[in-house]
Chain A
Amino acid sequence: MSAESGLRDRLEGGLNAPICLTWELTYACNLACTHCLSSSGRRDPNELTTTEAKALIDELAAMRVFYVNVGGGEPMIRRDFFDIVEHAVERRVGVKFSTNGTRLDAAAARRLAAMDYLDVQVSIDGDDAATSDAVRGAGSYAAARRAMDHLAAAGFADFKVSVVVTRESVEQLDALESLARGYGAQLRLARLRPSGRGVAVWDALRPSAAQNRRLHAWLVERPHVLTGDSFFHLSALGTPLEGLNLCGAGRVVCLIDPVGDVYACPFVIHDRFRAGNVRGGGFGPVWRESALFSELRAPHAPGACASCDSYDPCRGGCLAAKFFTGLEASDPDPECVLGHGERKLATTRVELRPTPSIDHSRAPARVGSGPLR
């Protein structure tokens, strides 16, 4: 469904707690995907301890946060991964976790299959190794397919195949849907954002305007394909897509990073959008009282989009996509389907785009070239 305007105003004004939040468990990752939102690679020595992680879950449970999207980095690299996840589902904080699959062997698959309130998303970025590995690194596609095989063999019903839509993968959507269906799994698509290391590849990898129009039509015909509200900027093409169709940053969602910093959403890991830290007073005060979240929840003028007939369905698009391409929050989305963003982008300078204020990428010589460990 699409939220009607009264409810949408309430949602844009913020909730007592997030509907869900993303929790990156670690910055450590054995892959080095070129579009990594969190510029992951090396573990941060200051990451939350097991005890701190469990205390955070207890607080989320008390606030009735319904579920957390667990990611990283590669969350399964943490030695206490199962300890944390099991603690969450025991307290009825559902877990949806994203993995590159490299650590998901047969035993792990059986353990995951035995848990309630748990969803698994295995990431590939194309229907074949050549397409996917170009983004995610050599051997990553085969490793992800092995993980999917393990999940299917363990009887894990309904896992998700998670794909970032690039100008390459967008041409493989039918094949990717078949791949997911072959496992009894669901396809989940996410928008490529110019966040983290993605800022460096966004211009080269993002779908063209024509591809975005085809993507919208394809999604309208397939309401069963999950998108996590990722493509609401495409709703300006006419038929609204499934989901709330609004920017949830600091309003209905947020991100907690591995060191406990709270950001407005998973796509804006940058000092400008850091609301606070869960260490000390906990998550609740940050969610309820931070100056940043109050700012994001205040009524926003449509800005440059005021005269556009399509403002209502798209609400000006994605805050993160604007920020990291050097646009203002009041500007159109850089991928505005009516072309307003492209015109605005042409007036900005690529070299002046904000760069990530934190970066855990491994040494450049190893990025994208190291063997899987």
Chain B
Amino acid sequence: MASVASTRPATGESFDLARPWRLSPEVSLRDETFGALAYHHGNRRLVFVKSTGLVEVLVRLGQYATADDALDELVAPAERARYARALATLAAGGLLGVG
């Protein structure tokens, strides 16, 4: 659902859904037919966000106290694990920050 088009190694930090994750202010998000393209201006990572549902989560993530809360409200229970993995991938690429 989110693939990182970059050769830079991901950071090894584990992803904790109970923290207040937000889209990094250094990230530009652009809508495309398949979802969106995300680009981190700092680390130059380009990410294909291949689901409009995930785009909505990314845009609204900052409105919730934790990523858990965001997924509770925005994502069907059956989809939850998939979205959590996608967020973890994005966080490893530096596209999400805690703030």
Same complex = yes
The residues of A with any CB-CB pair to B shorter than 8 Å are 1, 3, 7, 10, 13, 15-17, 19, 64, 66-67, 92, 94, 116-117, 119, 223-224, 242-244
Q: A16-B30, A116-B41 are in contact. List 4 more A-B contacts (CB 8 A).
A: A10-B32, A10-B33, A64-B28, A66-B30
Cβ-defined contact, A16 with B28, below 8 A: no
Q: Could you write out 5 A-B pairs with CB less than 8 Å apart?
A: A3-B48, A15-B32, A16-B30, A66-B39, A117-B42
A117 to B28, CA, bound (A): 13
The proximity string for B residues 32-59 relative to A, scoring 1 for CB distances below 8 Å and 0 otherwise, is 1110010101101010101000000000
Cβ-defined contact, A15 with B50, below 8 A: no
Distance of B41 from chain A, by nearest CB (Å):
5
Cβ-defined contact, A17 with B34, below 8 A: no
Given contacts A10-B33, A64-B30, A92-B28, contact A19 B4 (CB under 8 A): no
The residues of B with any CB-CB pair to A shorter than 8 Å are 3-5, 7, 28-34, 37, 39, 41-42, 44, 46, 48, 50
List of B residues within 8 angstroms of A94 by Cβ: 41, 44
Cβ-defined contact, A117 with B34, below 8 A: no
Cβ-defined contact, A7 with B30, below 8 A: no
List of B residues within 8 angstroms of A3 by Cβ: 5, 48
List of B residues within 8 angstroms of A15 by Cβ: 32, 37
List of A residues within 8 angstroms of B30 by Cβ: 16-17, 64, 66
Cβ-defined contact, B41 with A223, below 8 A: no
A116 to B5, CA, bound (A): 21
Distance of B81 from chain A, by nearest CB (Å):
21
List of A residues within 8 angstroms of B3 by Cβ: 1, 7
Given contacts A94-B41, A244-B5, contact A66 B28 (CB under 8 A): yes
Most A Cβ at <10 Å: residue of B4, B29, B37 = B37
Cβ-defined contact, A242 with B48, below 8 A: no
Cβ-defined contact, B28 with A19, below 8 A: no
Query: When the two chains form the complex, which single residue of A19, A119, A224 contacts B46, counting CB atoms closer than 8 Å?
Result: A19
Cβ-defined contact, B31 with A224, below 8 A: no
List of B residues within 8 angstroms of A242 by Cβ: 7
A169 to B3, CA, bound (A): 34
**What residue of chain A has the Cβ atom nearest to residue B6's Cβ?**
A1
Query: When the two chains form the complex, which single residue of A7, A16, A66 contacts B31, counting CB atoms closer than 8 Å?
Result: A16
Query: When the two chains form the complex, which single residue of A10, A67, A119 contacts B34, counting CB atoms closer than 8 Å?
Result: A10
Cβ-defined contact, A223 with B39, below 8 A: no
List of B residues within 8 angstroms of A116 by Cβ: 41-42
A15 to B46, CA, bound (A): 14
**What residue of chain B has the Cβ atom nearest to residue A17's Cβ?**
B30
